[in-house]
């Protein structure tokens, strides 16, 4: 049994908290709001996870220090835009022997750091050492994990012992975990696949068929691998659960915020209205400008990413943009 803190009470954080409690661990979920913490402690439910009744070993707190002070594992389940702020508060409180686990998918706006790199940076600033940093990723919709439906994931860390430790903690009858030492590659996949998910939704919203969606996933993977290559990631990572696995589920499932948002845009919704209608963070929309900075920095050919930039950021007509994509200069595969 381990004592675990989950920072953040979104759907993914709550689903994982319940999973870990069912595995026999004692889990404390940190929320900023005292009212929300008391509400969840009383109801044992989450508004966006209907049917889930949280295990009795899940507790709630709005006191950050008490939530993490005696924990073996601290799990970060906050949006990417808030990750640095949260890490900056927590890292100085740590003792140095905790496992720091990120569930967050994305990159930091200013630095283009992944979430594990932010943790390393904050550890350095706080003059602390901790190599036990792990990223959990893969095709893992919170709604299905909350229902104990079979799910596969990756535990990634530069330290294989840390990856294996977290593998053991998360592993269960309905949650199978693999290890990977290419944590950078796993996190790059987690960020970029959201753009492909958005694009897939746009195609469905436009009324297009399966042929172009299959092509989108294939060519989208080619773009992701170009990025991975210049960032010194292993190509095998992109063929695995964190890469093609997560990209597929993000691009086909109505449980995917990115897919649903893209579909609304394709159906004619204004981008801001589509995001508002989703009601939760749409990481793909937030990530597009960062992806374009990577494209420019490394002079990469990322036509799908560039097209989504025109649609989501410059708010160009999706049908017109995809027509331009189809009529690009001929080339070999």
DSSP 57-110: TEEEES-HHHHHTT-SEEEE-S-HHHHHHHHHHHGGG--S-SEEEE---SB-TT
- The predicted-structure confidence for 2-27, as pLDDT tens digits, reads as follows 999 999 999 999 999 999 999 999 99
Catalytic residue among 193, 290, 297, 330: 193
* Claim to verify: residue 173 and residue 247 sit in the same structural domain: no
Which pLDDT score, from 0 to 100, does residue 130 have?
Answer: 86
Instruction: Please indicate, yes or no, whether residues 276 and 173 belong to a single structural domain of this protein.
Output: no
Which residues of the chain carry a pLDDT beneath 50? Answer: none
Q: Are strands 99-102 and 151-156 parallel, antiparallel or unpaired?
A: unpaired
Question: Rounded to an integer, what distance in angstroms lies between the CA atom of residue 316 and that of residue 307?
Answer: 9
Q: Do residues 171 and 195 both lie within one domain?
A: no
Read off the pTM: 0.94
Q: Tens of pLDDT along 199-211?
A: 999 999 999 999 9
- Looking at residue 129, its pLDDT comes to 85
Tell whether 92 and 158 lie within a shared domain: yes
Domain of 23 in residue numbering reads as 3-181
Give the pLDDT confidence score for residue 155 in this predicted structure: 98
Q: Are both 160 and 251 inside the same structural domain? A: no
193 is catalytic: yes
Residue 131: per-residue pLDDT: 85
Q: How far is it, in rounded angstroms, from Cα 23 to Cα 20?
A: 5
The reported pLDDT for the residue numbered 281 is 87
Residues 256 and 153 in one domain: no
Say what the pLDDT of residue 280 is: 87
């Amino acid at each position: 049994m381990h004592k675990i803190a989950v920072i953040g009470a979104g759907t993914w954080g709550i689903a994982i908290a319940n999973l870990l409690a069912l595995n026999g661990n004692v889990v404390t979920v940190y929320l900023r709001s005292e009212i929300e913490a008391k509400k969840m402690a009383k109801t044992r439910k989450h508004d966006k996870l209907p049917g889930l009744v949280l295990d009795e070993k899940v507790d709630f707190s709005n006191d950050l220090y008490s939530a993490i002070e005696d924990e073996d594992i601290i799990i970060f389940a906050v949006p990417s835009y808030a990750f640095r702020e949260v890490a900056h508060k927590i890292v100085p409180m740590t003792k140095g022997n905790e496992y720091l686990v990120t569930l967050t998918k994305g990159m930091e706006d200013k630095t283009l750091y992944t979430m594990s790199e932010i943790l390393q940076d904050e550890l350095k600033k706080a003059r602390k050492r901790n190599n036990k940093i792990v990223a959990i990723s893969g095709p893992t919709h919170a709604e299905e994990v909350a229902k104990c439906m079979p799910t596969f994931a990756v535990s990634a860390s530069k330290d294989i012992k840390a990856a294996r430790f977290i593998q053991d903690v998360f592993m269960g009858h309905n949650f199978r975990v693999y290890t990977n030492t290419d944590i950078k590659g796993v996190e790059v996949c987690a960020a970029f696949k959201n753009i492909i998910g958005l694009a897939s939704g746009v195609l469905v919203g436009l009324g297009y068929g399966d042929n172009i969606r299959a092509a989108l996933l294939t060519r989208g993977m080619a773009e992701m691998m170009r990025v991975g290559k210049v960032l010194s990631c292993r190509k095998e990572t992109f063929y695995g659960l964190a890469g093609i696995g997560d990209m597929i589920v993000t691009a086909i499932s109505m449980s995917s915020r990115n897919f649903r948002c893209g579909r609304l845009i394709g159906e004619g919704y204004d981008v801001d209205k589509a995001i508002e209608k989703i009601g939760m963070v749409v990481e793909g929309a937030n990530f597009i400008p960062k992806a374009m900075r990577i494209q420019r920095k490394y002079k990469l050919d990322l036509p799908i990413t560039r097209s989504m930039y025109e649609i989501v950021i410059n708010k160009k007509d999706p049908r017109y943009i995809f027509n331009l994509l189809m009529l690009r200069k001929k080339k070999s595969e």
